[in-house]
Amino acid sequence: MTELRKRGGGGDTDLVSETISDKETDVEDRLGLPGEPGVEADGDSESKADTPEVPPSTADNTPQFLNKAVEGLNPRWKNWWIRGVLSLAMISGFFMMIYLGPVMLILVVMSIQIKCFQEIIDIGYRVYHSYELPWFRTLSWYFLICVNYFFYGETLAEYFGALVQREEPLQFLVRYHRFISFALYLAGFCMFVLSLVKKHYRLQFYMFAWTHVTLLIVVTQSHLVIQNLFEGMIWFLVPVSIVICNDIMAYLFGFFFGRTPLIKLSPKKTWEGFIGGFFGTLVFGFILAYLLAQFQYFVCPVEYNSETNRFTAECEPSDIFVMHEYTLPFAVQNIIQWKTVNLYPYQIHSVALSTFGSLIGPFGGFFASGFKRAFKIKDFADTIPGHGGIMDRFDCQYLMATFTHVYIASFIRGPNPSKVLQQLLVLQPEQQLSIFNTLRERLRDRGMLPPAATEAI
Amino acid sequence: MTELRHRGTTDNDLQHQQSDDKGSENEGKAEKDGASDSETKPDTGLPEVPVTADDTPEVLNKALSGLSSRWKNWWVRGILTLAMIIFFFIIIYLGPMVLMMIVLCVQIKCFQEIIHIGYSVYHSYHLPWFRTLSWYFLLCVNYFFYGETVTDYFSNLVQREEPLRILSKYHRLISFTLYLTGFCMFVLSLVKKHYRLQFYMFGWTHVTLLIVVTQSHLIIHNLFEGMIWFIVPISCVICNDIMAYMFGFFFGRTPLIKLSPKKTWEGFIGGFFSTVVFGILLSYVMSGYSFFVCPVEFNSDHNSFEVDCEPSDLFQLQDYALPAALQSLTGWPTVRLYPFQIHSIALSAFASIMGPFGGFFASGFKRAFKIKDFANTIPGHGGIMDRFDCQYLMATFVNVYIASFIRGPNPAKVIQQLLALRLDQQLHIFNSLKTHLTERGLLEEAA
């Protein structure tokens, strides 16, 4: 979302001035630090033989009809309109997918992950002119498949427990899952070592590392997004909406009130936008949480019903999605004359999520900005007209997904019962028996089981 | 362990090798291969790590001053090898606590060596904050991993002390916060002229962490499973190195891979068979002692580690009927083995076949960055990383092997998770478990 702020302001003139400032940094890079011998550090020498600058938005893949519709307008507003229309299109797409349900969302997350991975790897290729490296495309995609296999296998085993127990080959795959994943990864590792070519060692190691860091960032976090989704669609929708809202709010506040620059890295961002975005997002998150917490469709953990072979989200909503009365502190009582207020506890959690999304989310955007400046690219790709690549849209989301996951694990959810049962069934019989007895004692103490006298074991 | 083979030969060969490297550089310059070779040009700016930077201790130098220079190198390496092996035995004797400390130190040293290389490759000494940040990330990741281990194995101790309990309950959140702080510091430290360098170093640090720290953590996991799961794999890798070297030295003829020209197929195959035999013998010797085979536990009464248990089935001698072919060969109908010895064959096979790939990877890495050794810590051998490059894949393999074939989930942990569930979930699980146990005949049917 970083490009939104940089370019929504002045149209083409800003674009030109930005490319000029980029060229300036280029020159400075070549001069290097004063007095440093061997300034042709590898990183900088590459900037000379580098890819041609990605030509600014003249490579226009806006669809024809949009072009015709806006051709009458001033070029400044034309860009604004294209971005606006595409934003609206993306948000509508988002709503449609929510309507279509969890399976669709999972598929979309996976597609996005693959596209982001492809975009980043493409950049690496261009930066290193790596197209001639033997095997490397194949190997990158192979590693992507391996890591995905590993992660999705772990998830499937947990959530599809009933289905897995039924099918024999699936049971085998689950039991030796780690071993199989490791063997697959090792095969890729060996292929890499065997593919090392004398002249290209360094390039190949760079691309190997590039692939792995990309996998670390993109794949692990998309996996966390899916896990959040299984917890309940609300845990997927609210964080994603918060980040989008923060972007839009910060942009609007910056547009109307922006004065003080925020960080050298992104010159168009302002403190007013930042703070305004923070408060705007808080309110938005609060209201959105209120709206969504009422529907079972959103708050129930997604479960796989093995009889009907589909996903369902039906349950007794847990405590945090049940209205509670909270007494307002005195200060607030005097102001608004209400003694108590009815809230979902989840709305309080949403305040934490909004705070993170507004304060730390932008750092993900700064990181991506720095990355693009480092490699002299304007956008990750040209997939979305007016916005850039998929990665441009999702750079702030990743930290949010990890935070949500950690938040859920720490404050909300206990261990997953079906996973615990699975582990139990794998133990040695003596261990199972001892656990059985311990559990029985515990349940009797809590009154969940009739006392010992009536059972003859 | 790659240098062992590269340099256990005459100085002539050494010079040949250096000229080989230079030859490849010349080839690189001659070709009009565009940008990929523009990188070899600036590399001439990097000072070659001088081979003769000799920090062998004085005492060794004097003792060997009489010998010819060929054998001198050989002797220095031999003595250091012996010293390292003796050191290995001493720390085994000192017990699990010391082993853990040593693993931690080795990890830190490896990390430092690799980061140092990154610095010298990219002339990154002037980058603001970066040294601090690299060490900070190392601390964070270690905190995360050791926190998870400590919670598992020291659960009694943790439950007792209030501050530890809080740290363990919110462990993930705390680790994530610490990491995020480092991430934000990195973003704030980006300097206009040095963006690319800084991103390179960030990537370099993270890949190093991924390799070095996660795998040393897996080593500690293996150690807790029983010291034998730590000692046998490491010994297999060391033995494979030495045996492959010996076989290569005496019988070596056919080169194995372009990447390491001194390695031969004869060495590879000879090393494979002797490592398998060595593994079987070593496991036989070790399986007899509960000091090695018992899981390491923390005794909260004595506040110390102890290894005391009834050895599991794996470490009890059993009779195996030999297949008919072998029977006629050796005249024995059955043979008494520990089941663990059969597992050791799998471990040795992996060490001999895959371990060298770790070595090739490190060789390729060193050639890519035009360095001879990772560092000069051990005289005659190079840096710590040179010694441990084959070990890392081994540690991961052992861990995955144990998880897949040996160990089930940890019962104490399962109980903990069980008791943390809601009561209705507990009841549900109780009923499922009762059905399961009744089916297995472990429980009588309730009246």
Asked if A434's CB is within 8 angstroms of B411's CB, the reply is yes
Per DSSP, the three-state class of A267 is strand
Per DSSP, the three-state class of A340 is strand
Q: Check residue B19 and give its pLDDT.
A: 34
* A vs B: CB pairs below 8 A: 247
Each residue of B362-373: pLDDT tens digit? Answer: 888 888 887 777
What is the distance in angstroms between the Cα of B250 and the nearest Cα belonging to chain A? 26
Q: Is A38's pLDDT higher than 60?
A: no
Which residue carries 């917890």 as its tokens?
A: A231
Tell me the pLDDT band of B319, cut-offs 50, 70 and 90. Answer: confident
Asked if B409's CB is within 8 angstroms of A426's CB, the reply is yes
What is the distance in angstroms between the Cα of B10 and the nearest Cα belonging to chain A? 25
Asked if A175's CB is within 8 angstroms of B404's CB, the reply is yes
Nearest of A190, A46, A209 to residue B36 by alpha carbon? A46
Of A216, A406, A420, the CB nearest to B414: A420
Residues of A in contact with B130 (CB under 8 A): none
Residues of A in contact with B43 (CB under 8 A): 42
Q: Is the ipTM of this complex over 0.90?
A: no
d(CA B118, CA B249): 34
d(CA A148, CA A128): 26
Mean pLDDT over all residues of chain B? 74
What is the distance in angstroms between the Cα of A323 and the nearest Cα belonging to chain B? 20
What is the distance in angstroms between the Cα of A105 and the nearest Cα belonging to chain B? 26
Q: Check residue A39 and give its pLDDT.
A: 33
N- to C-terminal Cα separation, chain A = 64
Per DSSP, the three-state class of A72 is coil
What is the distance in angstroms between the Cα of A82 and the nearest Cα belonging to chain B? 31
Residues of A in contact with B169 (CB under 8 A): 410
Radius of gyration of chain B from its Cα atoms, rounded to whole angstroms: 26
Q: Is A33's pLDDT higher than 50?
A: no
β-strand partners of B382: B378
Task: Report phi then psi at A127, rounded to 5.
Answer: -60, -35
Q: Is B140's pLDDT higher than 90?
A: yes
The amino acid that residue B103 corresponds to is V
Q: Check residue A285 and give its pLDDT.
A: 92
Q: Which of A174, A193, A315, A416 has the most B C-beta neighbours within 10 Å, making it the best mutation to test the interface with B?
A: A193
Q: Check residue B138 and give its pLDDT.
A: 93
- Indicate the DSSP class of residue A412: I
What is the distance in angstroms between the Cα of A352 and the nearest Cα belonging to chain B? 13
Asked if A374's CB is within 8 angstroms of B433's CB, the reply is no
Q: Is A98's pLDDT higher than 60?
A: yes
Q: Is B389's pLDDT higher than 70?
A: yes
Contact A340, A328 (CB under 8 A): yes
Asked if B203's CB is within 8 angstroms of A38's CB, the reply is no
Q: How large is the average pLDDT for residues A308-333?
A: 75
Residues of B in contact with A455 (CB under 8 A): 446-447
d(CA B37, CA B42): 9
Residues of A in contact with B422 (CB under 8 A): 414
Each residue of A55-94: pLDDT tens digit? Answer: 333 344 556 666 666 566 666 677 777 777 877 888 888 8
Q: Give strand ranges (E) for B230-382.
A: 255-257, 260-264, 297-299, 304-306, 318-321, 334-337
Q: How large is the average pLDDT for residues B180-206?
A: 84
Tell me the pLDDT band of B407, cut-offs 50, 70 and 90. Answer: low
Q: How large is the average pLDDT for residues B406-424?
A: 67
Per DSSP, the three-state class of A265 is coil
d(CA B203, CA A210): 8
Contact B305, B153 (CB under 8 A): no
Q: How large is the average pLDDT for residues A277-290?
A: 91
Which residue carries 């010391």 as its tokens?
A: B98
Residues of A in contact with B176 (CB under 8 A): 402-403, 406
Asked if A449's CB is within 8 angstroms of B430's CB, the reply is yes
Q: Is B380's pLDDT higher than 80?
A: no
Per DSSP, the three-state class of A86 is helix
Which range among B10-19, B48-57, B105-114, B207-216 shows the weakest confidence by mean pLDDT? B10-19
**Stretch (H or E) spanning A270:** strand A266-270
Contact B233, B347 (CB under 8 A): yes
Burial of residue A392 (number of CB atoms within 10 Å: 0-12, 13-18, 19+)? buried
Q: Is A144's pLDDT higher than 90?
A: yes
The alpha carbon dihedral of B281, B287, B288, B292 has a sign of positive
**CB neighbour list of residue B260: distance below 8 Å, 6 or more residues apart:** B2, B5, B6, B359, B360, B363
d(CA A215, CA B244): 35
The amino acid that residue B299 corresponds to is N
The amino acid that residue A115 corresponds to is K
Each residue of A325-356: pLDDT tens digit? Answer: 877 777 777 777 777 778 888 888 899 999 99
Query: Is the pTM here over 0.80, yes or no?
Result: no
Q: Check residue A386 and give its pLDDT.
A: 63
Asked if A178's CB is within 8 angstroms of B203's CB, the reply is no
Each residue of A375-407: pLDDT tens digit? Answer: 777 777 766 666 666 767 777 787 888 889 888
- Nearest Cα residue in chain B from A453: B447
Of A193, A375, A433, the CB nearest to B442: A433
Contact B216, B106 (CB under 8 A): yes
Asked if B430's CB is within 8 angstroms of A436's CB, the reply is yes
